[in-house]
Structure 1
């Protein structure tokens, strides 16, 4: 049977509005091996502590994710773990780095107080953007077969800027990656397009091609933002703000998108069940994945 990513690409499934919704990210170094439910089942981690850490982080808007340097399968010397804390809101994005000796130190943190957009004093600011490539084959084999070769190729090309990650969602768009701290998520990448996304982030920009959306926003808001960007060919990462979508039932939304220069757009977004049925992830049954279909209904004001 063909894999989920092969089928998604073959059916040209739209990617806009498929990024995970996560304004904040908590990245914890753990070389592996990784389990499908990484923080709850990976060797060397206490499952109860991992589950509690996920819960506390999520309550404050942080997505807890395990990371490792590409190809690394042994613990770091001295038992210390590198940890990154990121916030993705436009105009309030930041990235902090620190180390811990155990999950207990992370459980002691007040994540509500650390949530952005104000940047906390924890650790040190990390000024370069990071690219996280999903490579967890226990979660989905496409992330291993497509993600790991990409991460290894990029690590040789961009040492220190690339990490493997346990789960970014959207396995069928593998290889998939997120750039932090801006939070733009990309799919169907190769080494050149992934490097270009990282280069754009260094310049305060994003790439429209292969973009799934900014994790700061909900799925309808992600699609609306990308629709405006495509309309005006806007690449500046922080020039657009997206209001909370106004829902009409469970499958339609009206979304306002504001530009830093004062222009405003109204976008109608509808959820569309893609045909034919296909697995959204390898090992799952056949489904009709929902895509977000945006339509600009008013020009800039």
Structure 2
């Protein structure tokens, strides 16, 4: 098979996108126009010392830090006097977005990252109550597919209106480009075209989740993402009413995940990690690899202390 990019290789192999989302309970997004390097927090017009400090402070807290900029060529030229900042917590039933403008992003090192990761904003900024945020990965220094496929998508979404659209430095999964994160819910999508993305954002405005192309909710680990999406597929539930209660290792490369619905129903989902074969590049120019893929091997409905087999 002859392929030229990581995205075309992934598509040709029919690689599923489910359970591949970056994990983060909370996102800290900092406006920084201009060119971005592969490691953008340390390679952009953001002071690298500030970027490095933010990375260190976020480590182990559940907070993921990324840079954002407005779509369009002006994003490479404009130096803002102030930087728009968003903090978005993605846990079901407790999702929120706070926003502020700062003169110097170095001010953000004073944030309580552990509290942010746990869902406490401590009064940062003000509540954001606008349309869902759409973040499209466009960092060509990280992977060419993100720029080639992501920037046209971001530009079209911004031109169509109805959503707050930004380019973002990194969402993981280059081979699924274009990729898009929707906040505050934290669901990530892969291989999205403009028509699909607009449908996803329209659904998000009413608190619904589109399953097509969904990579998972960032609040969950990868086994939890697989279980969440499997229960949604089984039940047809598209509201933000599904909660991953726990994800317990059940052996090497396998997990037992409990998923609950706000109406009282619950399921136990068996998830196994398998190697993605045959080998394929996870990024353009990278060596061939076998990225781990989460497979759901069984779902049991649990109610009143007993399990009712739903699917295996």
> What TM bracket, shorter-length normalisation?
over 0.9
Deviation at 1:76, TM superposition (A): 4.8
99-108 or 173-182, which deviates more: 99-108
Give the alignment of 1:115-264 within 5 angstroms. Answer: 115-127=117-129, 128-158=131-161, 161-237=164-240, 239-264=241-266
Matched position secondary structure for 2:257: strand
Q: Contact 1:223/1:292 (CA < 8 Å) preserved in 2?
A: yes
Deviation at 1:209, TM superposition (A): 0.5
Q: 1:58 — aligned with what? A: 59
How far apart, CA to CA, are the structure 2 residues paired with 1:137 and 1:165?
11
56-65 or 195-204, which deviates more: 56-65
140-149 or 99-108, which deviates more: 99-108
How far apart, CA to CA, are the structure 1 residues paired with 2:183 and 2:122?
16
How far apart, CA to CA, are the structure 2 residues paired with 1:300 and 1:225?
15
The count of residues paired between Structure 1 and Structure 2 equals 298
Q: Contact 2:132/2:163 (CA < 8 Å) preserved in 1?
A: no
| 4+ aligned runs moved over 4 Å, structure 1 | none
Gaps of 5+ in 1: none
Q: Contact 1:213/1:222 (CA < 8 Å) preserved in 2?
A: yes
Change (3 A) 1:101 1:250: farther
How far apart, CA to CA, are the structure 1 residues paired with 2:194 and 2:153?
6
How far apart, CA to CA, are the structure 2 residues paired with 1:51 and 1:254?
36
Change (3 A) 1:159 1:201: closer
Give the alignment's Cα RMSD to 1 decimal: 1.4
Gaps of 5+ in 2: 304-312
How far apart, CA to CA, are the structure 2 residues paired with 1:270 and 1:174?
25
Change (3 A) 1:255 1:232: same
Q: Contact 1:267/1:294 (CA < 8 Å) preserved in 2?
A: yes
Matched position secondary structure for 1:199: helix
Q: 1:101 — aligned with what? A: 103
The CA deviation string for residues 26-78 of structure 1, in whole angstroms up to 9 with x for no partner, is 00001120000000111x2222221111121233221100000001223355x
Deviation at 1:162, TM superposition (A): 0.7
Change (3 A) 1:76 1:116: farther
Deviation at 1:236, TM superposition (A): 0.4
Q: Contact 2:83/2:105 (CA < 8 Å) preserved in 1?
A: no
TM-score, normalised by the number of residues in structure 1: 0.95
Q: Contact 1:278/1:287 (CA < 8 Å) preserved in 2?
A: yes
Change (3 A) 1:146 1:230: same
2:276 to 270, 274, 277: 274
